[in-house]
């Protein structure tokens, strides 16, 4: 991912990737560029990536573009005869899962502080909200965003 140096450059680069993914399913692989920034050593870059992931997966959830229900294995769905829409939703949900796993790792990192705040996701999310989403929602975003239920990185 080409970017200018510094947090502002990362923010702009991530914003371009986010817009591309949300504008067209053919740009879905750009989600890997977004997730790659979560591996950065720079705390500001990671925070920008967390915010971008919050906006991305929050928007996909609101648009109904994340698979809801018992998540099948990615290999089974991709080699199966399901339609392109179902494959996209399952594939993107696996990317969401990867994001949540990395955020879980980051929560254990001493340079990040966790702030707890209350929020009822079910008031804004689709019904029914999959139980799997509820704990992970708090790992993403700022107070007031769809995906910021329990925690936010500060």
93 within domain boundaries: yes
Query: Is 90 in contact with 75 (CB distance < 8 Å)?
Result: no
Residue 64 pLDDT:
92
The domain tally of the chain equals: 1
Q: Does residue 1 sit within a domain? A: no
> Is 26 a domain residue?
yes
Question: How many degrees, rounded to 5, is the angle at CA 78 between CA 61 and CA 62?
Answer: 5
Rounded Cα–Cα distance for residues 11 and 110 (Å): 23
- Contact between residue 149 and residue 136 where contact means Cβ atoms under 8 Å apart: no
Instruction: Give the model's pLDDT for residue 136.
Output: 41
* pLDDT of the chain, 154 residues: tens digit per residue: 666 667 789 999 999 999 999 999 999 999 999 999 999 988 889 889 999 999 999 999 999 998 888 888 888 888 888 899 999 999 999 999 999 999 888 877 665 544 332 333 344 455 544 444 333 434 444 444 444 433 434 3
- Structural domain includes residue 40: yes
Instruction: Tell me what pLDDT residue 68 has.
Output: 83
- CA 41 to each of CA 22, 37, 129: distance values in angstroms, whole numbers, following the listed order: 27, 9, 33
Q: Give residue 148's pLDDT.
A: 42
The whole domain housing 111 covers 6-153
Residue 83 maps to a domain: yes
Residue 5: what pLDDT? 66
Please indicate, yes or no, if residue 118 is contained in any of the structural domains. yes
Residue 118 confidence (pLDDT):
31
């Amino acid at each position: 991912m080409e970017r200018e140096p510094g947090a502002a450059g990362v923010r702009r680069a991530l914003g371009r990737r986010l817009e591309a993914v949300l504008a067209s399913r053919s740009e879905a692989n750009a989600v890997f560029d977004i997730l790659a920034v979560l591996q950065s050593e720079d705390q500001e870059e990671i925070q920008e990536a967390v915010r971008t992931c919050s906006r991305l997966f929050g928007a996909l959830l609101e648009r109904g573009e994340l698979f809801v229900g018992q998540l099948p294995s990615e290999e089974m769905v991709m080699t199966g005869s399901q339609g392109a829409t179902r494959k996209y939703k399952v594939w993107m949900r696996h990317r969401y899962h990867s994001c949540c796993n990395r955020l879980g790792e980051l929560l254990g990192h001493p340079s990040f502080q966790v702030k707890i705040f209350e929020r009822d996701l079910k008031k804004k999310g689709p019904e029914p909200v999959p139980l799997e989403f509820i704990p992970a929602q708090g790992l993403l975003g700022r107070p007031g965003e769809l995906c910021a239920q329990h925690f936010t990185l500060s």
